[in-house]
Amino acid sequence: MYCIKKVTDDLIWVGANDRRLALFEGVYSVPTGVSYNSYLLTDEKTVLFDTVDKAVRQRFLENIEEALKGRKLDYLVVQHVEPDHSAVIPELIRRHPEIKIVCSEKVLMFIKQFYDFDLNSHVHLVEENDTLNTGKHNLQFIMAPMVHWPEVMMTYDSTAKILFSADAFGCFGALNGALFADEVDFAKDYMDETRRYYSNIVGKYGTQVESALDKMSALNIEMICPLHGFVWRSNLNEIISKYMLWSRYEPEERGVMISYASVYGNTENAAEILACRLRDKGIKTVIFDVSVTPASEIVSAAFKWSHLVFASTTYNAGIFVTMEALINDLAAHNIQNRRVAIIENGSWAPTSGGLIREILGKCERINILEKNVSILSGLKKAQLSDIESMAEAIGADFPAPSGVKPNNQAAINTVDPAVMFKLSYGLFVLTARDGNKDNGCIINTVMQITASPVKIAIGVNKANYTHDMIIKTGKFNVSVLSESAPFRIFQQFGFQSGKTTDKFAGSTEALRAENGVRYVSECTNGVISAEVKESIDCGTHTLFIAEVNQAFSLSRDPSATYQYYFDNIKPKPQPPKGNKKGFVCKICGYVHEGDTLPDDFICPLCKHGAKDFERI
């Protein structure tokens, strides 16, 4: 009996779950199972995106027959040939001899390597950015090599704004009746398994994942359909922002992951004491026994935490077996950009510390504390100071939060501009219209003043062209940006002037509220139209107090806050490649390479001045 789910009006999930698989890829435990996703587009042509693992072949074939409702299958898009997605291709061709396989040269090569059937008459080869029209839908093919294998391809449906992302954005865990990430408590119940999937499956290929993210940033994506796990139709930044961190090997959390390998409990004891001393300093800690916790979970945690401590006994004159496997696994997964400390133990010749140092020392941007703690059999009281010193050295990376004591009157009387960022601002596209000219800018100050009638106040910089248009017309719209808003929207409305550019150029829709002013619907959860009743000159800004005459909701996505923008949307400043020197714009992340920065330098991206740059 079939089990299918509707994704959109003409897209159907025809995948299946496997909860009996002992080890994914023969290595990774999947205690909550795994889903193999496949999607059928029922346009004028029918298009299937990938197949499934042989374990769920029967259910998958029943699903397709039901979803096709007697129609023929025109295309099979093969994005990834790993057998958990390609195992049913031969059977599909037997059942649907008319099918065309849409794939790249490299996919074709891999299909021929894995399977033995006459393929050539079925193939429709595509290259980067080639397109295929299937009736209403236009498909664009985007190569994503090494996310996870070299042949991987993604497909962008520019009509429905859906990205079929292959392995990217996948997750371990069966789909328990839900299909969309917003149907579950994803952060609580699935983010750990998503990180474990990412770090173990594609963690090694951060640079290639970054390239794929770059290509994605040029697309207007409203839904992501991966080959494992949940479909994303809202709050896409929740997952994309994690991929941005993971691909750059940036930790998600500041804290210390301690993993130990201990035969009789003495190395474990040293790890526990270190964790206590770190906690005494207010530093978050997690501990794993590498002989108990599967390596994939520890690799995943290493991608999460900023500091890593490895404590291992010596065994056969080397690193204890389970720890040796973990260290090699981490190096193989390209772990980078971490602070590391090492504790070694050995009753007659402790060598594990030096060997761990040798392996991890070859990884990029791994900074290992100079001094190992070295134990002979068991930690003695006299050696507690070594553990304390290690805790001190790690703790130096965790400065205590600075603050002003209430009795320090001099400090209280100053104005620290950073405190203004503690206010909970939102982010909005403010739009206005003057004659035939539409314009908009980004603002962060909109607040409701009264409920009856509904009045709001907005603060607008006088330098913005939108400000002048509102002064002249007295009308504006506020589009409330949601957490799914990509950086592109902030560049479009915030980093260029409406005096010299048409900020709506290239927009396919011209949505207007009843007041005739345009609004932004992309990644917007609500729109407010208002008419100015009062203006207050505040120096650099004007405070407009306006009566709301239309307000409507567009989605249930949470609103983006200023803090969320800085944490998750704004690209993190990247150091110049190689050993080059430079300055980074604190506002938009633009990097100016060179030894000096002229005082009158203006950021070409966001137009902020030299004072907003800092030396890298």
| Residues at the contact surface with ligand FEO, assessed by CB under 6 A | 80, 82, 84-85, 148, 167, 227-228
Nearer to ligand FEO by Cβ, of 230 and 495: the residue is 230
Output the smallest distance, CB 167 to ligand FEO, in A. 4
Output the smallest distance, CB 296 to ligand FEO, in A. 15
Output the smallest distance, CB 150 to ligand FEO, in A. 11
Nearer to ligand FEO by Cβ, of 148 and 475: the residue is 148
Tell which residue, 488, 475, 551, has the closest CA to residue 523.
488
Q: In what order do the strands lie in the sheet with 446-451?
A: 437-443, 428-434, 475-481, 524-538, 541-553, 454-461, 446-451
Largest CA distance in the chain: 86
Output the smallest distance, CB 282 to ligand FEO, in A. 40
Q: Tokens 């029943």 — which residue?
A: 62
- Check: CB of residue 137 under 8 Å from CB of residue 80: no
What's the distance, CA 169 to chain centroid?
8
Question: Residue 521 and residue 518: Cα distance in Å, rounded?
Answer: 10
Nearer to ligand FEO by Cβ, of 90 and 150: the residue is 150
Residue 595, both tokens: 């030894």
Question: Residue 308 and residue 312: Cα distance in Å, rounded?
Answer: 13
Output the smallest distance, CB 110 to ligand FEO, in A. 11
Q: Tokens 């100015």 — which residue?
A: 532
Output the smallest distance, CB 84 to ligand FEO, in A. 5
Nearer to ligand FEO by Cβ, of 170 and 353: the residue is 170
Output the smallest distance, CB 55 to ligand FEO, in A. 13
- Check: CB of residue 504 under 8 Å from CB of residue 519: no
Nearer to ligand FEO by Cβ, of 170 and 440: the residue is 170
Output the smallest distance, CB 85 to ligand FEO, in A. 6
Q: Tokens 């709301």 — which residue?
A: 548
The CA distances from residue 98 to 71, 121, 122, 123, 292, in Å, are 12, 10, 8, 11, 52
Output the smallest distance, CB 123 to ligand FEO, in A. 21
Nearer to ligand FEO by Cβ, of 173 and 486: the residue is 173
| CA–CA–CA angle 113, 117, 122 (5° rounding) | 100
Nearer to ligand FEO by Cβ, of 195 and 228: the residue is 228
What residue spans of 148-189 are helical by DSSP H? 186-189
Nearer to ligand FEO by Cβ, of 167 and 324: the residue is 167
Nearer to ligand FEO by Cβ, of 80 and 96: the residue is 80
- Check: CB of residue 535 under 8 Å from CB of residue 542: yes
β-strand 138-143 against 131-133: which pairing, if any?
antiparallel
Nearer to ligand FEO by Cβ, of 80 and 592: the residue is 80
Q: Please tell me whether the peptide bond between 350 and the residue prior to it is cis, using omega within 30 degrees of 0.
A: no
Output the smallest distance, CB 74 to ligand FEO, in A. 25
Q: Tokens 């703690």 — which residue?
A: 373
Residue 394, amino acid:
I
Nearer to ligand FEO by Cβ, of 50 and 238: the residue is 50
CB-facing half-sphere around the CA of 226: CA atoms within 13 A: 26
Helix (H, G, I), strand (E, B), or coil: what is residue 229? coil
Nearer to ligand FEO by Cβ, of 148 and 277: the residue is 148
Question: Residue 491 and residue 442: Cα distance in Å, rounded?
Answer: 9
Question: Residue 256 and residue 436: Cα distance in Å, rounded?
Answer: 58
User: Which residue, judged by CB position, is nearest to ligand FEO in the bound state?
Assistant: 82
- Check: CB of residue 527 under 8 Å from CB of residue 513: yes
Q: What is the CA radius of gyration of the chain?
A: 28
Output the smallest distance, CB 80 to ligand FEO, in A. 6
- Check: CB of residue 568 under 8 Å from CB of residue 483: yes
Question: Residue 371 and residue 587: Cα distance in Å, rounded?
Answer: 39
Output the smallest distance, CB 12 to ligand FEO, in A. 20
Output the smallest distance, CB 465 to ligand FEO, in A. 49
Q: What are phi and psi of 546, to 5 degrees?
A: -135, 150
Nearer to ligand FEO by Cβ, of 36 and 590: the residue is 36
